[in-house]
Amino acid sequence: MTAADMRRVGVVGGGQMGAGIAEVCARAELDVLVCETGARAAAAARERIAVSLERAVQRGKLDRISAEASLARIAVTADLTDLEDRQLVVEAVVEDTVAKTEVFAALDKIVTDPEAILATNTSSLPVMRLGMATDRADRVVGLHFFNPVPVLPLVEVVTTLHTSPAAKHEVTDFATRILGKSVVHSTDRAGFIVNALLVPYLLSAIRMTESGFASAADVDRGMELGCAHPMGPLRLADLIGLDSVASIAESLYEEFKEPLYAPPPLLQRMVAAGLLGRKSGRGFHAYDRGGEPR
C-alpha cells in the first residue's frame, strides 16, 4: 500500500488530540470516521472539530468553503466495528496501557484489510505492547502528533522491533506528502524524542514552583524573556494537560528509574484535584471558557 492509497482513515477517540488528527486528515481531503464511546461523545467530537475549523476561518488560516468541505468529510460513530473498511486507523484514547491494548486487540479483529496500518498517538507508552495485542505487529506504528494538531507541524514516527520497513515508509510518506507534516523517526522507548527531552524540563519548573523558589508567573516569564521561548514551561504544561504530563512522567520513570522523570507531588495533587490546565480552566494559570489566559 502507498500513502496515496490511504484514503479511508479511522480515528479512535475524539478528544483534543483525536479531533485534531481527524481535522488535519479531513483538510487533506481524506474520508474520516471518528469513533467515540457513545453517541453523545461522538457528537461532541464532531462539534469540537467544527469549532476548530471555524476558529481557523476566523483567523484567516482557512476559507469557509474549505472548512465546510472538510467537516463534510468527517463522520462519527459509537460503534468500533464501523472501522472495518479503514486503511489507516489512529488510536487516540486515554493514555492508559490497558485501554489502548483493548482497542488494538479489537481493531485487529475488526479491520479487514491485512495491509491496513494500525497506529497509536501515544506520547510515551510502549508501542510494542500494543502491537503484540494484534496478529499484525509488523503493521503497527507510533504516529505521535503534537497539540494543537492543526497548527504544529511535527509528527514522530515510532517503530518497534516488529514494524516492517514498508509500514515505516508508508506512514512517513502519508504524514509528509498527504498531511504536509514534518517527520522525525524514533525507536520505541518511553517519551520517544520530544517528550524524553521536554518532560524533565517541565518537571523541573514544577519542582521550582513547588519549593517556593519562584512563582509560576516568574518561572514562565523568565524562560520566555530570558531564553526566547514562545511559552513558559508551566503554561506549556497547562496546554499539554497536567494529567498527560503526569502520565508521560510516570512512563518515563517506570522505564528509566531516573529521579528527574518522577512526577513531583504537586503535580500529582493537582491532577487528583482536577486542576488539569487549560482544558479544565485552571492549572498553574487560570483560563476562560475559550482556553485563553485570564
For 193-222, write each residue's pLDDT tens digit: 999 999 999 999 999 999 999 999 999 999
Please state, as a whole number, how many other Cβ atoms lie within 10 Å of the Cβ of residue 188. Answer: 20
Please give the C-alpha separations between residue 231 and each of 137, 141, 200, in angstroms, as whole numbers: 38, 30, 16
| C-alpha cell read off for 49 | 472539530
Give yes or no for residue 290 having a pLDDT over 80.
no
The cell for 60 is 484567516
Mean pLDDT, residues 214-233 taken together? 97
Name the 3-class secondary structure at 33: strand
CATH number for the segment(s) 194-272: 1.10.1040.10
CA angle 144, 150, 154 (to 5 degrees): 40
CATH C-level class of 3-187: alpha beta
The domains of the chain are located at: 3-187, 194-272
Helices (H), 28-135: 39-58, 64-72, 97-110, 127-131
pTM of structure: 0.90
- Provide the annotated active-site residues: 123, 144, 156, 195
Measured distance CA(170)–CA(6) in Å, rounded: 9
Round to whole Å and give the CA distance between 126 and 259.
Answer: 20
Residue-wise pLDDT for 249-278, tens only, equals: 999 999 999 999 999 999 999 999 999 999
Q: Are 142 and 119 in contact (CB under 8 A)?
A: yes
pLDDT at residue 124 tops 90: no
Is residue 91 within 8 A of residue 102, CB to CB? The reply is: no
